[in-house]
Homo-oligomer: A and B are copies of this chain.
Amino acid sequence: MTSAIERPAVAEEDAPARPLRKDAARNRELLIAAAREVFARRGIEASLDDVARRAGLGVGTAYRHFANKYELLTALMTQTIDEIVAQAEYAATMDDPWEGLVTFLEAALTVQAKDRGLREVLMGVHDPEKLEQVHDRIAAPLDEIVRRAKRARLVRRDVEPSDVGVIIGMLCTVADIGGDEHPELWRRYLPLCLEGLKPGAPKPAVKALDEAQIRRAMATHKHGFPERRPSPSG
């Protein structure tokens, strides 16, 4: 459940993942924690200076650990994905497949509902490679969760793993709307969404995305991240 992130940004390419010196590792965690707080409150617009200051470190240190702001954001996401993957793996083993599905959704939302910056990053991912990794890790347990629910006739045949991802996105939006004042609002719409997956519900005319499609869809640059600009010369 804790972060699996171990490589600093400076470790180019495929260095053998040498563990960080202890204080460096600590700074990395400080930065991620600070980023989470700052971005959670003010969104991804917040400046890295602010993040660094919150972490009690200099900006330079932030750049030693993360090649750029986007990398830091990605690290946040990765860390969270780690948690969600863990939850998915656990949920995939629960006795009751329905409970597994619900547990997974609740876990994912509980993590994301509190963090605006995180939601922004998760929906606006830029690095197709990174996203591939995420998908590679979540695909199996999510598949399993959905497959078991289908086998037990708890959800329709046309339901796909991508549906679960989309539903998480939808409920993130509800969390956005609810904001700090109604942090549990998404819980109203979770059963609502689940209801529509049940065998009794009509099968929608539009098909779900398959795995390749959802990968591509999410990898498409959608959210206001600037193209990597040419580095300032000075």
Give chain A's interface residues, CB within 8 Å of chain B: 42-47, 58, 116, 123, 166-167, 169-174, 176-182, 184-185, 187-198, 200-202, 204-209, 213-214, 216-218, 220-227, 229-230, 232-234
How far apart are the CA atoms of A171 and B208 in the complex, in Å?
Answer: 14
How many of these chains are in the complex? Answer: 4
Which of B166, B192, B209, B232 meets A226, CB within 8 Å? B232
Determine the chain B residues whose CB is within 8 A of the CB of A207 once the complex forms: 188
Contact A217 B42 (CB under 8 A): no
What is the interface of chain A mostly: helix, strand, loop, or mixed? loop
- A and B contact pairs by CB, cutoff 8 A, 19 listed: A43-B224, A45-B226, A45-B234, A123-B173, A169-B177, A170-B171, A176-B222, A179-B217, A181-B216, A182-B217, A188-B204, A188-B205, A188-B207, A189-B193, A189-B204, A192-B195, A195-B201, A221-B234, A229-B230
Contact B170 A187 (CB under 8 A): no
Contact B202 A195 (CB under 8 A): yes
| CB contact under 8 A between A227 and B216, given known A174-B166, A177-B166, A192-B201 | no
Contact B182 A224 (CB under 8 A): no
How far apart are the CA atoms of A166 and B217 in the complex, in Å?
Answer: 23
Which of B181, B192, B224, B234 meets A227, CB within 8 Å? B234
Contact A205 B187 (CB under 8 A): yes
Which of B42, B123, B180 meets A234, CB within 8 Å? B42
CB of A11, distance to nearest CB on chain B (Å): 11
Contact A229 B226 (CB under 8 A): no
CB of A127, distance to nearest CB on chain B (Å): 14
CB of A169, distance to nearest CB on chain B (Å): 5
| CB contact under 8 A between A182 and B213, given known A166-B174, A177-B166, A192-B193 | yes
A213 — nearest CB in chain B belongs to which residue?
B182
| CB contact under 8 A between A188 and B206, given known A172-B173, A176-B222, A234-B58 | yes
A158 — nearest CB in chain B belongs to which residue?
B188
How far apart are the CA atoms of A177 and B174 in the complex, in Å?
Answer: 15
Which of B169, B192, B224 meets A173, CB within 8 Å? B169
